[in-house]
Amino acid sequence: MAYGQDFDMKEYIRKRMLEITELKDREVFKEAAGDILSAIYEYNQHAYEELEQRILDECTPAQNRYAVYISLTDQQHYDETDRFLHPMQMEDTKKTKISCQDINDALSEGKQLRLYTVYIKGTAAQVSQMLRQGERIFNGTIKTAKREYRASFCVKRNTRYMQMIEELYAVFGVNFQPWLTVCTAYLSKLVDVYLCASEQIRDGEEIDRVQADFEEYASLVRYNMIPLWNLCPMTEKTSTYPNPCVDKINYEHQFFAQRLKPDCEYLVRDTDAEITNIRRLNGDLYITCPIEKPCEWNLYEVHQRTDKEKYQYPVLSNQYKESFSGNITEMFRQSIKTKAEMARLIEAFDYGDYLTFRGFELCKEIPPECRESNYNMDSFLADEVRTGTARQPLVIQFTARDPANYLNEDIMSFLVTQVQRIFPDYHCAGEII
């Protein structure tokens, strides 16, 4: 008889007991097998379940506790009471006001004036083409209460949010946490709109609207968008006087658990501090450093997802799947030698609703159609160690679940960036077939 997950020990003993014809023998069997064996079986089952849970807990990567989630919303749907995702920059929650004085001063000095940021809801290739055209001039108008003024505009890639990701890389290093590529699909589609030229606006007029005609890109442009992530900046002072360490050099700064959230992790943002250790014990946070007096620390409060929140745009993350295979993939980042191992790495991320891995191919050069649809989400890393200068192209092939989804190329870029980290001596690119 096969003992599977649905095996019922009590039912099995009951059936065997009914096969005994002698009542006295059946009574003895019921007492011995029905009570004693059932208790032993239940004890073993409970012990196996505890052992399995302990193994899974030990295999759960610490990185998942510091996973970065990013989404997007507009000012109209922004919820200030949300406890999971927060604006990357709080000024995005306020409407941008532009004065005629700012415009006239910039134009008189021959400078371009940054007006606002827009989101391009298009593919990675479309955004790349829009920005690749250099300082392409778009016509438009500046409307006041009295009249309209003709103006010209240009767009440039927004770098403010990517700068925050680059700073986050340094924060992870200070906190002794391994870096895992942040999925910056939304951030790569943000562009800044600049005023290049305009008719002279009369002093004292109040500007109602600044409108650029983005021509073939007009249907892709979204205004007043707010990038969100699950990191909330905060400042916290050492809860008590620092305790000197046995090395007579460092001091341990303690933050009481009552002042921290039990369901959140914390990252120290002070990258200039000489920190030697960070640990969490019984809810308290301890920072070991040479600073001998209580001081204020800049922290990131890392909020965990509960799957209760609903957002206007899908939430993208760099978290591994909550599965044994996903956890093992994070623990043992070994080199990839086979197609199955590459598939295991790619499928460890929860993006199966977007793309399915098909295979890879070594080429002489990157196909032209792949160049604009790929970008490295870790492009800011400048401390990688590579051997050799010539890297052979490696094209990773995917199929899209929904070919019309404008995020497919961005998700592909995120997954290819993961492979690129393990294959530094190859030039990796993705292709949707």
Nearest to 7 by CA among 51, 56, 45, 63: 45
Q: Residue 168's CB: how many other CB atoms inside 10 A? A: 18
Q: From start to end of 103-239, where are the E strands?
A: 113-120, 138-144, 148-157, 190-198, 207-212, 221-222, 225-229, 231-237
**Can you tell me the distance from the alpha carbon of 400 to that of 433, in angstroms, rounded to the nearest whole number?**
8
Question: SS3 for 423?
Answer: coil
Q: SS3 for 21?
A: coil
> Hey, which residues does 279 pair with through a beta bridge?
286
Nearest partner of 251 among 260, 261, 238, judged by Cα = 238
The Cα–Cα gap between 170 and 151 comes to 41
Burial class of residue 307, CB neighbours in 10 A (0-12, 13-18, 19+): exposed
Per-residue tens of pLDDT for the chain, all 433 residues: 444 456 677 777 777 777 877 777 777 777 776 677 777 878 888 888 887 776 665 555 566 789 999 999 999 999 999 999 999 999 999 988 888 888 988 988 889 999 999 999 999 999 999 998 777 899 999 999 888 999 999 999 999 999 999 999 999 999 999 898 999 999 999 999 999 999 888 877 889 999 999 999 999 999 999 999 999 999 999 999 999 998 889 999 999 999 999 889 999 999 999 999 999 888 899 999 999 999 999 999 999 988 778 899 999 999 887 655 555 555 555 556 677 888 888 888 989 999 999 999 888 888 888 888 999 999 888 755 555 556 789 999 999 999 999 999 999 999 999 998 888 888 899 999 8
Q: How many whole angstroms separate alpha carbon 284 and alpha carbon 381?
A: 33
Calpha distance 193→424 (Å, rounded): 36
Chain-centroid distance, C-alpha 177:
15
Kindly list the distances between the CA atom of residue 67 and the CA atoms of 234, 267, 321, 431, in Å, as whole numbers in the listed order. 18, 12, 11, 27
Report yes or no on whether pTM surpasses 0.85: no
Beta-sheet pairing, 426-432 with 392-400: parallel
Q: Please state the domain extents for the chain.
A: 13-59, 67-229, 231-302, 322-432
